[in-house]
Amino acid sequence: MRTIGRVAMAFIAIAVVLIVRPAHAAWYETSEIKALYEKAKAEGKVVVWGPQRNEVDWIPQAFNSMFPGIEVEWVGDNETLTRAITEARAGRHQVDVFWNSITGLVNFVNRDLVAPMDWATFGAPKENIIFDGRAAFTTSIAWAFAYNSERVKKEDLPTRWDQLLEPKYKDQIVTSLFLMPRLMGSLSLAWGWDKAEAFARDLIAKQNVMLTRSPREPIVNSGERLYSLGEVDFLVRIWQKSGLKLGYVVPEPIIVGQFTASVMAKAPHPNAARLLAGFMVSSEGKAARKALTSAEDYSITGTSDLAKRINSGKAQVVNDNPDKSDEREKAIQRMGPIVAGQK
């Protein structure tokens, strides 16, 4: 998407929320936030890191449409978590705000690298504030099963993950070497380790799933493989908007990944860090991100059909929450070598 289009979409998304929100709920008009904004402008800059480019590159336009005059630098890469921990050990502190999943965030929490803040000031409900105020929910992902929308019939789509062992899926699935362990590790929380491990091994050995480090969407779009296992739902929506012949379903158990914003304990720009992190968890920040990246909020404050399904109590769901973060992380690490064929 062209930059000018993204700026306009961010402005529109925020403007709509500003119009419909009542005056008493306007956190951005309080004297506390106005004072914080002035301090943030004096710092002049804020640095945010996240796991992928397209998950953080929208922030400068969206943030500056509400709070101009603060330069936003971003880094989006799968190695940012490890890099931030390494640099903190060496006494280097160049990151202000870290955006990651709960599973990733727990590595920072356990090392006291993130600081508590008053998220309620930015309109965050208490249900969306975790780790004693050291993080708050921004948006969510659901693990999806993508397919070639021109060549696959709806009746051939699974409603449960374990249906992928049916003969019709043999030789037809591609998956990411990075993403598959994360999906399989999360499934182990619902199924138990033995079933999840057997499922992963059977997919590779019996179903001949193609493992790749390359993008899967061209492979499915071309029909070389008709399905992609373990995609992130909002990324498929982005591919659809770009014109690719792709669709997706969210089988059960629904695996939810919850993403959070945190302020680094030794942020070099502490006031700008608080303002940006608070913006990201606010309704305005969520609206801007949805407009620019198609990402949704599946927490208790989510309003989409999938959010309602997840929170209905009728679907089998593996929610991302702090109580399960250590268990999930260990399962993912344990599953990695299995998927890669090293165990």
The two three-digit tokens of residue 136, written as one number: 């708050």
State residue 51's pLDDT score: 87
| Rounded distance between C-alpha atoms, residue 46 and residue 97, angstroms | 8
What is the reported pLDDT for 246?
98
Q: Check pLDDT > 50 for residue 325.
A: yes
Confidence of residue 280 (pLDDT cuts 50, 70, 90): very high
Alpha helix (H) residue ranges in the chain: 3-20, 31-43, 59-66, 80-89, 102-109, 180-191, 193-205, 217-222, 233-241, 270-281, 283-293, 305-310, 322-339
Per DSSP, 160 falls in state B
Residue 23 has a pLDDT of 41
Label residue 64 by pLDDT band (50, 70, 90).
Answer: very high
Query: What pLDDT score was predicted for residue 1?
Result: 39
Give, in degrees to the nearest 5, the angle at Cα 37 between 31 and 38.
Answer: 95
Q: Helix or strand or coil: residue 99?
A: strand
Q: Is the peptide bond before 253 cis (omega within 30 degrees of 0)?
A: yes
Place of tokens 């330069």: 71
Of 120, 131, 94, 90, which is closest to residue 262 (Cα–Cα)? Answer: 131
pLDDT score at 25: 54
Please tell me the predicted confidence (pLDDT) of residue 39: 98
DSSP letter at 251 equals P
Mean pLDDT of all residues in the chain?
90
Q: How far apart are CA 81 and CA 64, in angstroms?
A: 25
Location of structure tokens 């309620």: 120
Amino acid at 164: L
Tokens of 115: 């600081």
The alpha carbon of residue 304 and the mean position of all alpha carbons in its chain are separated, in whole angstroms, by 16
- Round to whole Å and give the CA distance between 306 and 209: 27
pLDDT at res. 14: 54
**What does the pLDDT read at residue 103?**
81
Q: In one letter, which amino acid is 155?
A: E
> What would the mean pLDDT of 306-320 be, rounded to a whole number?
92
pLDDT of residue 158: 98
Residue 273: HSE in the Cβ half-sphere, 13 Å Cα cutoff: 26
- Local confidence band at 20 (pLDDT 50, 70, 90 cut-offs): very low
Spatial CA neighbour of 316 closest among 228, 136, 189: 189
Question: Going from the N-terminus, what domains does the chain have, and what CATH number goes with each?
Answer: 3-140+257-307 (3.40.190.10), 142-255+319-339 (3.40.190.10)
Cβ–Cβ < 8 Å for 249, 148: no
Rounded to two decimals, the pTM is: 0.80
Residue 256, pLDDT score: 94
- Binned at pLDDT 50, 70 and 90, residue 186 comes out as very high
Share above pLDDT 70 across residues of the chain, in percent, rounded to a whole number:
93
Q: How confident is the model at residue 248 (pLDDT cuts 50, 70, 90)?
A: very high
Mean pLDDT of 142-160: 97
Report which residue type is found at 284: E
Pairwise pLDDT comparison (18 vs 274), residue with the higher score: 274
Let me know how long the chain is: 343
Model confidence at 19: pLDDT above 80: no
Q: Give the tens place of pLDDT for each residue, 91-113.
A: 999 999 999 988 888 889 999 99
Q: Token pair of 192, please?
A: 């138990």
pLDDT number for residue 21: 47
pLDDT at 302: 84
Is the pLDDT at 287 greater than 80, yes or no?
A: yes
DSSP 8-state symbol, 209: P
Q: Is the pLDDT of residue 49 over 90?
A: yes
Q: Identify the pLDDT of residue 10.
A: 52
